[in-house]
A and B are shown apart, each in its own frame.
Chain A
């Protein structure tokens, strides 16, 4: 079965600095990887996804993520953090092997960007 891990509960960065939120995954077939962001009292907003092709995926709000098959990772990055990026970030994976696979989410990483 597919699974995903976010090894950091909390990431703190200063405004203007680059940020990285880490994600590793485990699947039987091809991984389909997603990043979502959740603001307080809101649902999850889609940021980006990797299906196939270029390992660097660009998404909403200046975020990008790098797929690394050998390290089974899909880290979320942004060159210059904003205070408004402070939120809860979720990595998710769906396994391309088998049928009726549900989407599995990591535990989430709380990003705090300080002015």
Chain B
């Protein structure tokens, strides 16, 4: 089975722009979660989608949004980019939303905001 894929792998944007990141989960997985990883804050949960519905959200401003499509692919959007948004954005998928189900991560999208 193919793993979780994320596109693009690298992005460079300037302050004030907006960006959309894409994630394709493992085939058959219906849950997609997004995380932000920075050296200072570590891994922080952004949100989780299951069957096209957001089921959980972390403590991030409204500039961060996401959606999930009927094929379980997910996109994350960040509007009005700030320098502090520079980070590795990781997507993870799991088959169900049972607490014991394992999440599998993609390689990440490295976003640099100048």
Contacts and interface: CB of A to CB of B under 8 A. Distances in A.
Interface of A: 32, 34, 36, 41-46, 49, 51, 90, 94-96, 100-108
B36 to A, nearest CB: 11
Interface string B27-61: 00000010100000011010010000001101000
A43 B103 contact: no
A81 B12 CA distance: 38
Interface of B: 4, 6, 33, 35, 42-43, 45, 48, 55-56, 58, 90, 92, 97, 99-100, 102-108, 110
Given A102-B48, A102-B56, A105-B42, A46 B99 contact: no
A45 B110 CA distance: 17
Contacts of A107: 42
A105 B48 contact: no
Contact of A43 (B33, B55, B97, B105): B105
Given A102-B33, A103-B45, A32 B99 contact: yes
Given A96-B99, A100-B55, A101-B99, A43 B45 contact: no
A94 B102 contact: no
B90 A43 contact: yes
Nearest to B57: A102
Contacts of B107: 41-43
Nearest to A107: B42
B108 A103 contact: no
A100 B105 contact: no
B43 A43 contact: no
Contact of B4 (A43, A49, A100, A102): A43
Contacts of A36: 105
Nearest to A31: B99
A108 B39 CA distance: 10
